[in-house]
Amino acid sequence: MVIQDSDLTNIERLRWQCRRGMLELDVLLEAFLEQRYVALSPRLKRHFVQLLEFPDPVIHAWCVQGQRPEDEEFAELISSIRATSVA
């Protein structure tokens, strides 16, 4: 997917992209978007937009189960998502 700069700032669109087939992802991704997204660097914002294109079980494995993605750059975003407070 080609990501435009406008994709990074369209928060409402991202909010709908955070609607997933798994409750765990709904809760975690929406909270992340709410609490942390705006303060991210453009590079990490871009990663987040990319992440939302992955299938649910992959996002679940990385963000909930803590499996390490191969791409180290993604790792930074994912540890930030995992540190989001949802409890």
Partner 1 sequence: MALEKQRFDTLILGAGGAGLNAALQLANANLKVAVVSKVFPTRSHTVAAQGGVNAALANVLPDNWHWHMFDTVKGSDYLGDQDAIEYMCREAIPTVYELEHNGVPFSRLTNGKIYQRAFGGQSQNFGGEQAARTCAAADRTGHAILHTLYQQNIRAKTHFYDEYFAVDLIKDKEGIVVGALVLNIATGEPLLIESTTTLLATGGCGQVFRTTSNAHINTGDGMAMVLRAGLPLMDMEFFQFHPTGIAGKGMLITEGVRGEGGYLINKDGDRFMEKYAPNAKDLASRDVVSRSIVTEVRDGHGCGPEADHVMLKVNHLSEDVIAKRLPGIRESSRIFAGVDPVKDPIPVFPTAHYVMGGIPTDRFGRVMPTSEDNGEHLPGLYAAGECACASVHGANRLGGNSLLDILVFGRLAGHNIIDYVKDNGTHRPLDEAAVEQAMGRLARWENKGEGLSVSQLRNEFRKTMEDHAGVFRVEEMMAEGVEKVRQIREKLSDVRLTDHSSTFNINRTEALELENMIDVGLSIAVSALHRKESRGAHSRPDYPKRNDAEWMKHTLYWQENDKLDYKGVRVQPLTVESFPPKERVY
Binding site for partner 1 (CB under 8 A): 10, 12-13, 15-16, 19-28, 55-57, 64-66, 82, 85-87
Distance CA 1, CA 23 (A): 25
- Cβ-based nearer residue to partner 1, 35 or 43: 35
- Cβ-based nearer residue to partner 1, 41 or 78: 78
**CB of residue 47 vs partner 1: minimum separation in angstroms?**
19
Of the candidates 73, 12, 19, 20, the residue with the CA atom closest to the CA atom of residue 48: 73
**CB of residue 64 vs partner 1: minimum separation in angstroms?**
6
Of the candidates 29, 79, 85, 27, the residue with the CA atom closest to the CA atom of residue 52: 29
Q: What is the DSSP letter of 83?
A: T
